[in-house]
Amino acid sequence: ETGVTQTPRHLVMGMTNKKSLKCEQHLGHNAMYWYKQSAKKPLELMFVYNFKEQTENNSVPSRFSPECPNSSHLFLHLHTLQPEDSALYLCASSPGERGRTDTQYFGPGTRLTVL
C-alpha cells in the first residue's frame, strides 16, 4: 500500500501557475512511469524512466516536464497548463528487468484541476 507514494494528492492551479508533482517508490525498482487518467478513458502512458534515463516520451506537450534524479524519485513539473489537462496523474514503478511487461505498482495519484 505504501510502496509508491505521491504528493500532493490534490492540486488546483491556474493556467499561469508552475507546480510540481512528486513520486517516491520504496520497492527497489529500476523503472518509473507517469500516466494520465481521464474519466472513462484508458490510462495514457506519458513518460518512462529506466535506471534514471528517460526511455519513452509519448508525444507529451512540453508544458509537462519530467525529472528523475534517482531510481526512487520521479517528478512531473507543470507550467502553463490547459483546462483539458485536468485529470488523475498516476505514478508507477516496476522492477525494470523485463521492460514494460513487468507488473507495475501504482501510487494513489494526484488529482489535478486546472482552472
Chain contacts with another protein (rule: CB under 8 A): 4, 40-43, 45, 90-92, 98-101, 103-109
- Supply the minimum distance, in Å, between the C-beta of residue 40 and another protein: 6
71 vs 110 by CB, closer to another protein: 110
The three grid cell numbers given for residue 85, joined into one nine-digit string: 489537462
Which residue, 45, 42, 43, 19, is CA-closest to 31? 45
- Supply the minimum distance, in Å, between the C-beta of residue 107 and another protein: 5
Q: At CA 37, angle to CA 16 and CA 26, rounded to 5?
A: 95
Count of CB atoms situated within 10 Å of the CB of 101 = 7
6 vs 71 by CB, closer to another protein: 6
17 vs 95 by CB, closer to another protein: 95
Residues 23, 74: contact at Cβ < 8 Å? yes
- Supply the minimum distance, in Å, between the C-beta of residue 16 and another protein: 28
In angstroms, the CA 46 to CA 88 distance is: 12
2 vs 16 by CB, closer to another protein: 2
